[in-house]
A and B are shown apart, each in its own frame.
Chain A
Amino acid sequence: DADVTQTPRNRITKTGKRIMLECSQTKGHDRMYWYRQDPGLGLRLIYYSFDVKDINKGEISDGYSVSRQAQAKFSLSLESAIPNQTALYFCATSESGTQETQYFGPGTRLLVL
């Protein structure tokens, strides 16, 4: 079984709809992250969490919110989806530390019409 899972893997939604992307991990890591990837721009950090009570904005948090329900779960919400949020979304985890590897989930492809 994969250590970091994301649901759904693919999603098509309409402008203005609220959607939630979910991430679960079995690695026992404290730190979790949400990124989006767009062609030519690389991965950009949306939000990150260093433990259950910690939530931090990343580079591009506008239009997104997150919830860290448990150590193993970190969900990303788009309150009112817009077309420029069409992207590939990745969740990642890492252990505490300054140079720890991040492990990525398989990604969620989101299309906002």
Chain B
Amino acid sequence: RKEVEQDPGPFNVPEGATVAFNCTYSNSASQSFFWYRQDCRKEPKLLMSVYSSGNEDGRFTAQLNRASQYISLLIRDSKLSDSATYLCVAGEYGNKLVFGAGTILRVKS
């Protein structure tokens, strides 16, 4: 079983749609959580950190449920430029990051 599991997709959505990605992690000792974005053939880049209280950055909202070991990302009003692979990440002791395999999002006009 993978330590961080995500639905690989692809999620094909029209512009303006709201889309949600889910992720589960198996290590209950994980201390930090992130969503990274990776464009095709490019390096991953931090999209946002995820906090227990939930956090929002513009059209993006991230949620963490430690009891269920579940992380989510909600994207509202999808743009063509949101098309990418979204990586769910759990951080362990010493800033070791464990990456999910990623969820592919394709936003179409």
Contacts and interface: CB of A to CB of B under 8 A. Distances in A.
A97 B95 contact: yes
Nearest to A58: B96
Interface of A is mostly: loop
Q: For this complex, into which size category does the number of interface residues on chain A fall?
A: 20 to 34
Interface stretch (B44-52, B54-62, B65-73, B74-82): B44-52
Nearest to B46: A101
A100 B89 CA distance: 13
B8 A98 contact: no
A43 interface: yes
B97 interface: yes
Contact of B32 (A50, A98, A107): A98
A44 B3 CA distance: 11
A100 B49 CA distance: 10
Contact of A98 (B34, B95, B99): B95
A50 B96 CA distance: 11
B105 to A, nearest CB: 16
A43 B95 contact: no
A102 B8 CA distance: 23
B99 A42 contact: yes
A41 B95 contact: no
A53 B82 CA distance: 41
A102 B49 contact: no
Given A105-B43, A106-B43, A42 B91 contact: no
A16 to B, nearest CB: 28
A48 B94 CA distance: 10
Contacts of A104: 43-45
Interface of A: 31, 35, 40-45, 48, 50, 58, 90, 94, 97-102, 104-107
Interface of B: 2, 4, 8, 31-32, 34, 41-46, 49, 87, 91, 93-102
